[in-house]
Structure 1
Amino acid sequence: MPYSVPVENVIAACQAIKHTDMARTMIADYEGSEDDITVELPDYEHLDKPLIEVFTLDAATCAACTYMLAAAMLAKDEFGDGVDIREYKYTIREDVARTKKMGVQKLPSIYINGELKWSSIIPSKQELFDELKKHM
């Protein structure tokens, strides 16, 4: 659970578990709304250097996400300014919109120049480096 979850949300989740029928009745007519967040994707075909995009729940609170981001950061250690790295967290509304627009199916995932490379599988250092060299 992310650190900033309001206490009221935790209480509501517990009450929904304890009083399932009441919770179902409360949300029976609920209609969710779509965010109108516009996300601009990079022009992947014309990047100056490889762009590693790491889609996570939040690397600060998810162990698998921490390892996935750490794998990507090894590339920064090896190639320095020769690569760009971005983390997109599923706890940030704009990042959720980007995740949807990219069609990300599983978290954590690594995309290189807009193309899915690893989904829920953390690459070895060598696998990541070999893949990056194809884009340099």
Structure 2
Amino acid sequence: MSEQKIKIDVLTLDSVQCAACGYMMESIAAMPPDVQEMIEYKEWSIKNQAGIQKFLELNGRVLPTICIEGDLVFESVIPQYEELIDELAKRAPTPEMRERILSLRDKGFDFDRIKENLEKAGAGLHTRRDSTVE
């Protein structure tokens, strides 16, 4: 049985052309491998219909925003590593996952796999008005 993952939606204008949006995506993509195993994240660019729908669905107010389990958590504020860990832990589906996440609080960002993690999340792939999200 696979472990349930914490769902993260990153609402952006465009993580390729908007620096703040790119930094928001990178803050998630730079989480260390142990955290990456426990999360699932995706960029939602408002340059396409699916992104606009997600923005409205989550009651977005500003860009960029990180939503964790449907909660608007970091609105126009690029989080520090410890802040991300704390917010992920608050929304962990089990006490065991919560403790596992908190045990990684002193680990820090891992920038070695950031490009690979951004690609896995589809960052920058759906930023045109005519693009579609699979």
In 2, Cα distance between the equivalents of 1:74 and 1:134?
20
Q: Does 1:122 align with 2:78?
A: yes
In 1, Cα distance between the equivalents of 2:5 and 2:15?
24
Moved more, 104-113 or 86-95: 86-95
Provide structure 1 residue ranges, at least 5 long, that are not aligned to the other structure: 1-46
Paired residues for 1:1-136 under 5 Å: 48-75=4-31, 77-136=33-92
TM-score normalized by the length of structure 2 = 0.62
**Cα distance, 1:63–1:115 mapped onto 2, change above 3 Å:** same
Q: Is the 8 A contact 1:49 1:135 kept in 2?
A: no
In 1, Cα distance between the equivalents of 2:46 and 2:22?
13
Q: What is the RMSD of the two structures over their aligned residues, measured on CA atoms?
A: 1.7
Provide structure 2 residue ranges, at least 5 long, that are not aligned to the other structure: 93-134
Larger radius of gyration: 1
In 2, Cα distance between the equivalents of 1:91 and 1:74?
24
TM-score normalized by the length of structure 1 = 0.61
**TM superposition outliers: structure 1 runs of 4+ over 6 Å:** none
**Relative to total residues, which structure has the larger helix share, 1 or 2?**
1
Q: How many residues get paired?
A: 90
